[in-house]
Chain A
Amino acid sequence: EVQLVESGGGLIQPGGSLRLSCAASGFTVSSNYMSWVRQAPAKGLEWVSVIYSGGGTYYAGSVRGRSTISRDDSKNTLYLQLNSLGAEDTAVYYCARAVTGTFYFDSWGQGTLVTVSS
């Protein structure tokens, strides 16, 4: 069974950094396109970043330059490092899978809440 479990969220002060994790089971992270999607409170979904199976990475404009997506193949885990956090980064962060060669998200984690506040 495919499963994605996010962790690493919490209360962060403005200007701070955090690293979110997404532990996968039932499939191999490195063989798929893995994305982060976030949702601010009472707002819509926003695609954040992807790491392709080939290793290429892309970011939404809202986080480009202050975020890094990565994966640890030995742990079958996806990460998102976010720096210079602001109130606009407060959201539930989901990891989502797109099978290589497809361009839709067929599996999602339950999300982890990040709150940026002093």
Chain B
Amino acid sequence: QSALTQPASVSGSPGQSITISCTGTSSDVGAYNFVSWYQQHPGKAPKLMIYDVSNRPSGVSNRFSGSKSDSTASLTISGLQAEDEADYYCNSYTSTSTWVFGGGTKLTVL
């Protein structure tokens, strides 16, 4: 199972919006609405930010939103804040009953 494809880095200024894409195949992202997104700060464990494509867990800011079209999912962060600077990973359940992560995207808040 090959890793999902994410841009290596994105950046934005405080208050702006950014979008991170996550491209998979018809065996993972395109097969199910089981795409999730994780935020990871240096030295910390990942934190769930979005599940089932577009749902936010309790406690996650509504500045985070997710969507999907065919085999590409996206995470949008609006109203960028300094604390959003982190690595972001997409993840999808697959047709072989396994999971696959994206390569990760480093978000820099300028």
* Residue positions of A touching B, CB distance < 8 A: 35, 37, 44-47, 50, 52, 56, 58-61, 94, 96, 102-106, 108-111
How many residues on chain B are close to A (CB under 8 Å)?
A: 27
Q: Is the CB of B48 within 8 A of A47?
A: no
Q: How far is the CB of A24 from chain B (nearest CB, A)?
A: 15
Known: A50-B98, A60-B98. A45 touches B46 (CB 8 A): yes
Q: Could you list 14 further interchain pairs (A-B, Cβ under 8 angstroms) beyond the known A44-B89, A105-B91?
A: A35-B99, A44-B101, A44-B102, A45-B91, A46-B3, A47-B101, A50-B97, A50-B98, A58-B97, A61-B1, A103-B52, A104-B91, A105-B46, A105-B48
Least Cβ–Cβ distance between B74 and chain A, in angstroms? 16
**B44: shortest Cβ distance to chain A, in Å?**
8
Please tell me if the beta carbons of B51 and A45 are within 8 angstroms of each other in the complex.
no
Which single member of B45, B103, B104 contacts A110 (CB below 8 Å)? B45
Asked if B64 lies at the interface with its beta carbon under 8 angstroms from chain A, I say no
Does B89 contact A103, Cβ atoms closer than 8 Å?
no
